[in-house]
Amino acid sequence: MDIDKLKFKVSDSTSRKTRRDDGLIPVIVQDYANNQVLMHAYMNKEALRLTLETGFAHFYSRSRGKLWKKGETSGHVQKVKEILVDCDEDTLLIKVQQEKASCHEGYRSCFYRKLDDKGNLKIIEKKVFEPKDVYEK
């Protein structure tokens, strides 16, 4: 894949697309075996290159302002099986083999809540680990 062709940055302000100047591309992460959506994150070119080189998912944290390897603290790494690029070349879908869980809240998926018809959130998954046991060591 020629990663320089991907649209990490939209520079044409006349484009109908939303302008993004942050050099990031949105990434949807999906379980390779069962197609469950696990998380949403962002990559810059360096994160994508590291992902391609190592075979493990790397992302760019907007809140921390730095690269991170998924699972670097928890051990819940994502082994990349396939990377798909959308038709506009501005979003990635990465299919992974997920170790234990993707969500730092202790759930397998970051999408562990459902919004009901009254606007209330309902937890629809069971926790697979306690965050305090993993992150507060």
Domain ranges of the chain: 22-135
Among 16-25, 64-73, 107-116, which is the least confidently predicted range?
16-25
Task: Give 19 or 108, the one with higher predicted confidence.
Answer: 108
Q: 112 pLDDT exceeds 60?
A: yes
Tell me if residue 63 falls in helix, strand or coil.
coil
pTM for this one?
0.85
At the fourth CATH level, the homologous superfamily of domain 22-135 is Phosphoribosyl-AMP cyclohydrolase (3.10.20.810)
95, two tokens: 């299919």
pLDDT at 5 over 80: no
Q: What is the DSSP letter of 127?
A: -
Identify the CA nearest to 98 among candidates 82, 84, 83, 77. Answer: 77
The SS3 of residue 81 is strand
